[in-house]
Amino acid sequence: IRHLVGLQGVSESDIRTILDTAVEFRQLLERPVKKVPSLRGLTIVNLFFENSTRTRTSFELAEKRLSADIVNFSSSSSSVKKGETLLDTLRNIESMKIDVVVVRHKGTGVPQFIADHSNAIVLNAGDGAHEHPTQALLDMFTIEQKLGKLKGKKIAIVGDIRHSRVARSDSWGMTTLGASVTLCGPSTLLPRYRADFPNVSWETDVKKAVAGADAVIALRLQKERMEDSLLPSLREYRNYFGVTEEVLDKAKDSALIMHPGPINRGVELDSDVADGEHSVILAQVTNGVAVRMSALYLLSGGRANG
């Protein structure tokens, strides 16, 4: 693959290569000196048109650990605020001789649009409710790090599936690696159009969804992408769909608790679960740097130092 705009259609062997390469970068992160010269001479721009804590910091650290030159672009302090279009913004930035674009945008398809209109290698850092491929890769990496290969594992994803790019990318990536994925949420927050999901199961009863699960991924209510009429009462949501100790009684005893962040504590996830012994939420964040190093390294192969 030349770009990483999504996991839909990405082969098992390409996903496996990214995850296997990430194992080596994850080991590197434990060393006193965490930097390698792999991408020396490569210029990367991080184009963030939406807020981010984890993804932005993680990409930036990954790029620095690989010795790339980096430029950070934030739409809130850019000429986008003066009305400049996405295409004009892109053309101007590309004129400064950029090799790689990492982009987050509220619009579905923006990473593909950039890939179609530039010579840069493009990595999607989240586009609307469409895909968040590096989040899915770090989720897969974390599950395999803790439990072994994903093949045959049962994964429950609970929350606002309809507006979640993480649910889409996780579903594509995990089913490609042979896991069975159940998506669960209130019927109003399940997607009406399901053709862009792979072969997954659908559930509106959280206890049924997590029954026998090896990992439970809780998702945030994406209020920023939601019509007001869809927003449930938070108390009601917590009572029916919150991932609590009582709900987790149905999962495997060893089930991992995951969340892409940011967490709304006491809504989709209780604090004792988020901070409990089965939580791997911070391991997900650590692994994100290694996975992004791997994706950047593999996609940029041959461009660096050349």
Q: Which is nearer to ligand CP, 243 or 304 (by Cβ)?
A: 243
Q: Is 54 annotated as a binding residue?
A: yes
Window 55 to 74, contacts with ligand CP (CB under 6 A): 55-56
Binding window for ligand CP (CB under 6 A); candidates: 11-19, 27-35, 52-60, 221-229: 52-60
What are the tokens at 91?
A: 């053309």
Backbone angles phi, psi at 54, to 5 degrees: -70, -55
Q: Is 31 annotated as a binding residue?
A: no
The distance of closest approach from Cβ of residue 257 to ligand CP in the complex, given in angstroms and rounded to an integer, is 15
Q: Which parts of the chain fold into alpha helices (H)? A: 12-28, 54-65, 86-95, 110-116, 133-147, 165-176, 206-210, 234-241, 245-248, 271-274, 281-299
Question: What does the per-residue mask of binding to ligand CP show for 105-144, with x meaning CB under 6 A?
Answer: ---------------------x--------x---------
Q: Is 232 annotated as a binding residue?
A: no
Binding window for ligand CP (CB under 6 A); candidates: 33-41, 186-194, 246-254, 258-266: 258-266
Q: Is 238 annotated as a binding residue?
A: no
Separation CA 293–CA 231 (nearest Å): 36
The distance of closest approach from Cβ of residue 77 to ligand CP in the complex, given in angstroms and rounded to an integer, is 18
Pick the binder of ligand CP from 11, 53, 76, 92 (CB under 6 A): 53
Pick the binder of ligand CP from 261, 266, 279, 298 (CB under 6 A): 261
The distance of closest approach from Cβ of residue 225 to ligand CP in the complex, given in angstroms and rounded to an integer, is 13
Residue 73, classed as helix, strand or coil, is strand
Residue 153: beta bridge partners? none
Is the bond preceding residue 262 a cis peptide, omega within 30 degrees? yes
The distance of closest approach from Cβ of residue 289 to ligand CP in the complex, given in angstroms and rounded to an integer, is 13
- The H or E element that residue 1 is part of is none
Separation CA 128–CA 171 (nearest Å): 16
Half-sphere exposure of 33 (CA within 13 A, CB side): 4
Q: Which residues bind ligand CP (CB under 6 A)?
A: 52-56, 126, 135, 260-262
As annotated, the binding site for L-aspartate includes: 82, 165, 220
